Amino acid sequence: MSRTHVDHNDIAKFAQDKVNLPKAKADEYRAQARRLREKLENYLGEHPDFSLKKMMISGSLAKGTGLRSLNDIDVACYVSGADAPSDIPRLLEYIAERLRKAFPNFTPDQVTPQTYSISVSFKGTGLDVDIVPILYYGDKNWYGNLVSQVDGSFLKTSIPLHLDFIRKRKQKNYQHFSQVVRLVKFWVRKEKRERDGFRFKSFMVEMILSKLSDQGVDFSDYPEALQSFFTYIATTDMRELIVFDDCYAPNTVGTITTPVKIIDPVNAENNVANLYTNTQADMIVEAALDAGDAIDSALSATTKQDTLYYWQKVFGSTFQV
């Protein structure tokens, strides 16, 4: 293998410079979410029967897998389900009204329902906070019905248990697990720009990498870890059942007939890839084959120009050494 021109350390440096959300930014955004959460907690202290029960930072900022291109702060909001409307537009309006009550220093138009979430916009710098509703019935592990951001359906799941799940994989491959997640997400962004109709949800990427981590794949060499990811997709044709035993026995997962089968690690009945079609699965496989070939070529290229050319096929023209 020729690594003269681009080696693990070059990929690591590229990640630092171009891919990762800088830590100072991540801290600032987490603090922004924390202030909102604390405001709600104060309001709840004075109004214990209030129907918004908790706010919790979720998504990539909570998992430490955010890209530099992060464009909103995901916050889950637990709403007591008994009285809340289940019709999505009415539910969003119901929550928006209550958020305006709990945050009186926001003008009403700073709290606006979107398609499946509510956005809280901050004047000045800061990113907007995207509030995703979870209908909640008092479960101690914070299971609830999360509103899918893809089609507005209700998905039974638990955000804190997801965070525990990811934390375990991060501990096993300290720093490298999150870094490989971010590198793959960066590749996904490039594919979305270049292939019409390409989709590959971040959570699915994380589940595939979690499976590889559980199988003992070493993440500390980035070219190799990336190659393991692309090879996994190519060899399984993106059709292998992915299931974990952290929270339930894998054999409790029923028969699944959709092409892509990636089961929520905290709910055996929730296939997180249920909306992916054969065409979309094939597109992922094709893109992974191309990326895998490009990495092979990069690793055997003899000139710097050729090596760069192949790595740019994976990460786009922002990849420079």
Ligand X SMILES: Nc1ncnc2c1ncn2[C@@H]1O[C@H](COP(=O)(O)OP(=O)(O)OP(=O)(O)O)[C@@H](O)[C@H]1O
Select the binding partner of residue 64 from Mg ion, ligand X, none (C-beta < 5 to 8 A, by kind): none
Cα(221)–Cα(236) distance, integer angstroms: 22
Cα(165)–Cα(178) distance, integer angstroms: 13
**Which residue from 11, 264, 292, 294 is in contact with ligand X, where contact means CB under 6 A?**
264
**Which residue from 5, 162, 170, 176 is in contact with ligand X, where contact means CB under 6 A?**
162
The nearer residue to Mg ion, 114 or 227, going by C-beta atoms, is 114
The span of 61-69, 110-118, 191-199, 249-257 binding ligand X (CB under 6 A) equals 61-69
The span of 39-47, 56-64, 214-222, 246-254 binding ligand X (CB under 6 A) equals 56-64
Cα angle: 174, vertex 182, 75; to 5 degrees: 95
Q: Cβ of residue 74: shortest distance to Mg ion, in angstroms? A: 5
Q: Is the dihedral of CA 50, 139, 268, 206 positive or negative?
A: positive
The nearer residue to ligand X, 20 or 58, going by C-beta atoms, is 58
Q: Cβ of residue 60: shortest distance to Mg ion, in angstroms? A: 5
Asked whether position 264 contacts Mg ion by CB under 5 A, the answer is: no
Cα(102)–Cα(95) distance, integer angstroms: 10
**Which residue from 59, 144, 265, 292 is in contact with ligand X, where contact means CB under 6 A?**
59
CB 215 within 8 A of CB 169: no
Asked whether position 74 contacts Mg ion by CB under 5 A, the answer is: yes
Interaction mask 201-240, ligand X, x per CB under 6 A:
xxx-------------------------------------
Nearest to 88 by CA among 109, 59, 118, 108: 118
Asked whether position 74 contacts ligand X by CB under 6 A, the answer is: yes
Would you state the structure tokens that stand for residue 23, as one six-digit string?
């830590």
Cα(311)–Cα(226) distance, integer angstroms: 12
The nearer residue to ligand X, 146 or 226, going by C-beta atoms, is 146
CB 287 within 8 A of CB 314: no
Other C-beta atoms lying within 10 Å of the C-beta of residue 311: 25
Select the binding partner of residue 162 from Mg ion, ligand X, none (C-beta < 5 to 8 A, by kind): ligand X
Residue 109 DSSP code: G
- Tell me the backbone φ, ψ of residue 318, rounded to 5 degrees: -70, -15
What residue ranges bind ligand X (CB under 6 A)? 58-60, 63, 65-67, 74, 146, 155, 157, 159, 162, 201-203, 264, 270, 272
